[in-house]
């Protein structure tokens, strides 16, 4: 099992994944709301858009912008079940466990935290 640091280092080797960064508006949003509120948003987004076994619009359910968590999902390969399978070997067609959801959220929050620190 890889650590968050290992996962983030591996993601940086992908030109596509490494190209995502928080913009000024998203940074301000994180500063205004705080990390706990952003985490609660991540929990809700993952539970609704990624955790179900079957997702009708899989591959298109996560916008490319509009919220820091959406950007983090793309940067971390957690935007759809296809990317979860490719990057983390999480099979499609099965509901994500509470532990899997927690791990995804922790990864997303670590990415957001690093983005906030790298101004």
Q: What angle do CA 26, 29, 32 make, to 5 degrees?
A: 155
Copy the structure tokens of residue 110.
Answer: 């670590």
Handedness of CA 23, 47, 81, 89 (dihedral sign): positive
Q: What is the pTM of this model?
A: 0.94
Q: What angle do CA 35, 22, 82 make, to 5 degrees?
A: 90
Count of C-beta atoms within a 10 Å radius of residue 96:
19
What string of pLDDT tens digits covers the 119 residues of the chain? 689 999 999 999 999 999 999 999 999 999 999 999 999 999 999 999 999 998 887 778 898 888 999 999 999 999 999 999 999 999 999 999 999 999 999 999 999 999 999 85
Q: Are 88 and 77 in contact (CB under 8 A)?
A: yes
């Amino acid at each position: 099992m890889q650590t968050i640091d290992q996962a983030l280092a591996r993601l940086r080797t992908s030109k596509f994944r490494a190209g995502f960064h928080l913009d000024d508006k998203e940074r301000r949003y994180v500063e205004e709301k705080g990390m706990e509120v952003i985490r609660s948003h991540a929990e809700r987004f993952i539970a609704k858009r990624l955790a179900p076994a079957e997702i009708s619009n899989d591959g298109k359910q996560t916008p490319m912008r509009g919220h820091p968590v959406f950007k983090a999902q793309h940067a971390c390969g957690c935007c759809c079940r296809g990317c979860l399978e490719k990057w983390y070997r999480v099979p499609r067609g099965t509901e994500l466990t509470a532990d899997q959801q927690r791990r995804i959220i922790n990864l997303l929050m670590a990415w957001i935290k690093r983005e906030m620190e790298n101004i």
